[in-house]
Chain A
Amino acid sequence: MEHVAKLARLALSDDEIEQFTVQLGAVLEHFASVAALDTSDVPPTSHPIPLSNVLRPDEPRPGLDREIVLGMAPEAEDGRFRVPRILAEEQ
């Protein structure tokens, strides 16, 4: 659970980890009957209504206004998003 939480970027509490372990176990158990099906000759479906080569003319068009987009950000500076430091101090 802790490994998955790290992959999912979730700082779960100990209580949540305990609770989710039980609850997700039940869901995965429910999946067991599906896991047991022989599907070796069945192709997977990723999209129910397949469309391929969806193209549009390569014409420039206006994008979103930068000021509006940066105005939604928790923090912005010099026309860019500002975030806390990316490398920890010891690195």
Chain B
Amino acid sequence: MSAAAGAGGGPGLTGRTAAELAALVRSGDVSAVEVTDAHLARIETLDGQVRSFLCVGADSARAAAAAVDARRARGEELGPLAGVPVAVKDMFCTTDLPTTAGSRILEGWRPPYDSTVVARLRAAGAIVIGKTNLDEFAMGSSNENSGFVPCANPWDLTRVPGGSSGGSAAAVAAGFAPLAIGTDTGGSIRQPAALCGVVGLRPTYGRVSRYGIIAYASSLDQAGPFAATVADTALLLEAMWGHDPLDSTSIPSAPEPALTRLEDGVAGLRVGVVSELADVAGIQPEVRAAVDAARNLFEKAGAEVDVVSVPSVEYGLSAYYIIAPAEASSNLARYDGERYGLRAEAAEVEAMNALTREQGFGAEVKRRIMLGTYALSAGYYDAYYGQAQRVRTLIIRDFSRAYERFDVLLAPTSPTTAFELGSKTADPLAMYLSDVCTIPTNLTGACAISVPAGLDAAGLPIGVQVLAPALGEAVLLRAARALEAGFAFTARPTLGEEAA
């Protein structure tokens, strides 16, 4: 092992960027197996207190790493992520590891095929190191709706990591993997990224294939990357995205490369601060201050910044909490105990269906199924689902107007930093309000990213959000990179050596 890999081997290989690790593996300075073992060892020692993984694939990861090393030994071309561990939200189907969506109803289920995203990551040489914890069926903002065990925030183990992709964000923050993937239906990548102090990007709807991702709300779901740096986020996104004939909503045009123009700067870029989100009710003063700091950084880097009003965003939360449950109630009808997963015992099939669902689903999933079923039921469809869809059009129109004047928009990611475990579980509406700044992007189908902006007085990470129009990932990442350079956020949480 070379000096570049760090004295003592294993520990020196964690906490590095994916780009660094891929370069070390490509050059032969370290093997993919060594990289994988170092991350597995860190997970083994420290994840007991975080609980970011539902399942660690030690054997399958080592086998995949050995295959990368064998390819290198034969002189074959290595993929851009060769030997880089990636943590996969347990919403993505994987043939070698169980896929549960964080639900008891799918406990132990092993899918018969890989999701397109996972297949692409494997083809790029990435090592799937494990499946991360999440709110059941991605429904939640704190990871406390996990059907198995809540995940903790690595910065403060008494606080939530955010959700629903809390395990993925926590895994990157804790150095268990340099990269992770998640899904973002209402903010489920960006909000946990903000609360855990990492970068998280929600791509344009249709940019990343949904094939083989367990469906929650099909018109809002989109998969995306987590990483510690913007460059790693772009690297991972480029390995995930692109047209997939297996997803009929997949955008057929090729994406504009994001990584090559990352350092082009923001001189002349027009940035709009969304006033309704920057001053959203209940915003923590330090989060508000971080948005101002981001504004100043953009200006110093040569961007033209102004304030913009997007009035209809105030209706976003209400529209979302009709549309998403409505689509979920339809998507989750498939969990009936007939073809896979849990089956409760009953003499007659309809009772078996209802009892299986009662036993297999947690409270939040049942709540959303009930809400969605009601919103779609005869006599209420137009007043709820129809009205929410028309409001969705209003929000899309408002953002289109904003993008006539601005290239990207700036907003908080979450109104607050990480809250205490248990503090919002009894009040679903209070929990839903933590998505207020992220939901508009899901409704409009556009892209957005959360970038770490520093720590609050309690030492908890703050995230700021950059939004761009549909297909604007390249400019989005370029703007995010400028903020990252300005904030120069390098703090990492300290985890005790002893498992709790």
Contacts and interface: CB of A to CB of B under 8 A. Distances in A.
Contacts of A1: 370
Interface string A26-47: 1110110111010100111111
B318 A51 contact: no
B137 interface: no
A39 B367 CA distance: 28
Contact of B249 (A20, A51, A56, A65): A51
Interface in B331-349: 333, 336-343, 346-349
A48 B445 contact: yes
Contacts of B333: 9
Interface string A68-91: 110011110000010111111000
A37 B110 CA distance: 46
Contacts, number: 171
B53 interface: no
B396 interface: yes
A27 B346 CA distance: 33
Chain A's interface size range is 35 or more
Contacts of A85: 347-349
A12 to B, nearest CB: 6
B354 A9 contact: yes
B279 interface: no
A51 B67 CA distance: 39
B423 interface: no
A4 B329 CA distance: 11
A7 B369 CA distance: 10
Nearest to B321: A27
A73 B340 contact: yes
B349 A5 contact: no
Contacts of A51: 206, 248-249, 251-252
B289 interface: no
B101 to A, nearest CB: 15
A64 B443 CA distance: 34
A48 B110 contact: no
Interface string B438-454: 00000111100000000
A11 B340 contact: no
B349 A84 contact: yes
Nearest to B444: A48
A42 B346 CA distance: 47
Contact of B354 (A10, A26, A39, A69): A10
Interface stretch (B28-36, B254-262, B355-363): B355-363
Contacts of B352: 83-84
Contacts of A12: 358, 366, 370
Nearest to B366: A10
Contacts of B383: 35
A55 to B, nearest CB: 9
Given A27-B321, A48-B219, A10 B369 contact: yes
Contacts of A8: 329, 357, 369-370, 373
B390 to A, nearest CB: 4
Given A31-B318, A56-B245, A86 B349 contact: yes
B353 interface: yes
20 contacts: A8-B329, A8-B369, A8-B370, A19-B363, A23-B429, A31-B384, A34-B322, A42-B391, A42-B393, A45-B392, A45-B396, A48-B392, A51-B252, A54-B249, A73-B340, A74-B340, A84-B346, A84-B347, A84-B352, A86-B349
Interface of B: 109-110, 112-113, 204-206, 219, 245, 248-249, 251-252, 315, 317-319, 321-322, 329, 333, 336-343, 346-355, 357-358, 361, 363, 366-367, 369-371, 373-374, 377, 383-384, 386-394, 396, 428-429, 432, 443-446, 470
Given A27-B432, A37-B315, 9 more contacts: A4-B370, A7-B377, A11-B358, A39-B391, A44-B392, A48-B396, A54-B248, A74-B343, A81-B338
